[in-house]
Amino acid sequence: MSTTYDATVASVTHSVPQAGDGDDAPRPTHPRQTTRSRPGAGADAPVRADAVDLASTQPAAPSSAGRPVNAGPGVTRGGTTGRTTSSASLPVPVPPTGPAAADAPRLSDVDEWGRSERVRSLARRLYDPVYRYWFRVEWEGLERIPRTGGALLVANHAGAIPPDAPVIMHGIERELGRPVYGLADSFFRTVPVVGTLWSRTGGVPAHPDNAYRLLHDRQELALVFPEGTKGPSKRYADRYRLRRFGRGGFVEIAMRAGVPVIPIAVVGAEEAMPVLFRSYHLARALRLPYFPVTANMLAFGPLLGAVTYFPAKLRLRVLEPVTFDVEPGLERYSKSRVMDEAEQVRSRLQDALHDVLRERRSVVFG
């Protein structure tokens, strides 16, 4: 585009709608325009170049402020349509735009990840007694979780409705004052009310992009269960036997974001809501990832049992962070390396589980 007349643009540039006159300025609603730029400074089409010629011949627009100066040919002397006249006679250039409405007042405090601090503090107040008196959570090695910078927390997942996610999220925020973003299966979002609450309390759909933004761009703590639904859906007979760790996606994300992976071994969640068996057909009919029949349902009845945990003591052990000696930010990493690292994390977590279990004397009292 020609920039020859940039200096005089101000005197005729007026048609860009301003933020301030948003209410009365008619807005262009044309289905289509075709434009033709001026191919250089020479006037090759005099009829079509009115605005340009006007701009070049009348550089002193401020002096003509009282008189309507008009860019277009479709206007007579002495003024015409109000908008054209008034805006053309103002020698005000279009102001450079800034973050004018950057702090438009809001009604709620829901941020762009769907978290609401108000809902979160309420949920944490309600959950705290459960954390302290029901599960009597005990941490080991909390100092291994960094106070600043991103880190990907990786834990084993168990119990029909896994209690480990809220315990880790609430526990770390309680002990260290750092929020944890829980990356959850997208199934959560499909459930009315539950999905919204999950999102408001700090849950984020597990997606590589989301994890990367949280870990790399915002340097937050993110929690992920690499077993996915395979963990909580396993039966009590398989307790504390880690399932396959997906396809090692969590390692790849940590590599890309350049953050350490911190494994956390959770003991007690298996016994809080043990799965006796699963109904494949019910799960399909209800479109659930799995439909468990739990010991809690037998003990407390199907409804109360679906939401009541056994008072198992939860012990959590934070393991040594795993850092990867790779260049961050790559699109792809060696699959074999990723699978290798994932397998190593898995076996360390499995060893730690056995270790904690070896020391445990009672399910309820630890």
Partner 1 sequence: MAQAFEGQPSVELVLGMGTGEPKVPLERTEFVRADQTYSILNRIVRATRVDTVVHTFLVTNSSSVTRRALHEVNVIGTLNLLAAAGAAGTSVRHVVVKSSTHVYGSSPRDPAWFDEGAHRNAPVTTQLERSLLEVESLVDDFAEDNPHVAVTVLRFANVLGSDIVTPISTDLRRRLLPAIAGYDPLVQFVEEDDVVRSLEHVTLNRIAGRFNVAGAGKLPWSEVAHLAGAHLLPLSPIAPRLTCAPLLRLARLELPAELEALARYGRGVDTSRLLQTGFSYRYTTAGTVRSFARANNLRRSVGEGPVYRYERDLEQFFRHSRAVTREGE
Tell me how far, at minimum, the Cβ of 24 lies from partner 1, in Å: 6
Q: Is 244 in the site for partner 1 (CB under 8 A)?
A: no
238 contributes a contact to partner 1 by CB under 8 A = no
Query: Which helix or strand (DSSP H or E) is residue 124 part of?
Result: helix 117-129
- How many Cβ atoms are within 10 Å of 293's Cβ, its own excluded? 17
What number of other Cβ atoms are within 10 A of residue 308's Cβ? 17
Instruction: Kindly report the number of other CB atoms within 10 A of residue 304's CB atom.
Output: 11
Q: Do the Cβ atoms of 157 and 246 come closer than 8 Å?
A: no
Which residues between 203 and 222 bind partner 1 (CB under 8 A)? 204-205, 207-210, 213
The span from the CA of 260 to the CA of 315, in Å, is 22
Told to check if 33 binds partner 1 by CB under 8 A, we report: yes
Q: In this complex, which beta carbon is closest to partner 1, that of residue 156 or of residue 199?
A: 199
**For residues 51 and 295, which CB has a smaller minimum distance to partner 1 in the complex?**
51
DSSP 8-state class, residue 180: E
Question: Which is nearer to partner 1, 12 or 353 (by Cβ)?
Answer: 12
Nearer to partner 1, 90 or 357 (CB): 90
Instruction: Work out which of 86, 190, 323, 347 binds partner 1, going by CB under 8 A.
Output: 190
For the CB of residue 214, give the shortest distance to partner 1 in the complex, in Å: 9
| β-bridge mates for residue 315, sequence order | 138, 267
Query: Residue 139: in which H helix or E strand, if any?
Result: strand 138-140
Asked if 42 interacts with partner 1 (CB under 8 A), we say: no
Nearest by Cα to 153 from 141, 136, 138, 135: 141
Question: Binding partner 1 by CB under 8 A: which of 42, 66, 108, 126?
Answer: 108
Name residue, tokens 């790779």: 326
Contact pattern from residue 119 through residue 148 relative to partner 1, giving x for each residue in contact according to CB under 8 A and a dash for the rest: ------------------------------
**32 interacts with partner 1 by CB under 8 A:** yes
Q: Which CB, 31 or 129, lies closer to partner 1? A: 31
- How do 261-267 and 221-224 pair as beta strands? unpaired
Q: Which of 60, 104, 126, 286 binds partner 1 (CB under 8 A)?
A: 104
332 belongs to the binding site for partner 1 (CB under 8 A): no
Pick from 165, 192, 196, 169: nearest CA to 180: 169
Q: Given the rule CB under 8 A, which of 24-32, 159-167, 221-229, 287-295 is the region that contacts partner 1?
A: 24-32
In which element (H, E) is residue 127 found?
A: helix 117-129
CA pair distance 128, 123, nearest whole angstrom? 8
**Closest approach of partner 1 to the CB of residue 280, in Å:** 22
Least distance (Å) between residue 165 CB and partner 1: 18
Q: Which of 70, 296 has the CB closer to partner 1? A: 70
φ, ψ dihedrals at 293, nearest 5°: -110, 115
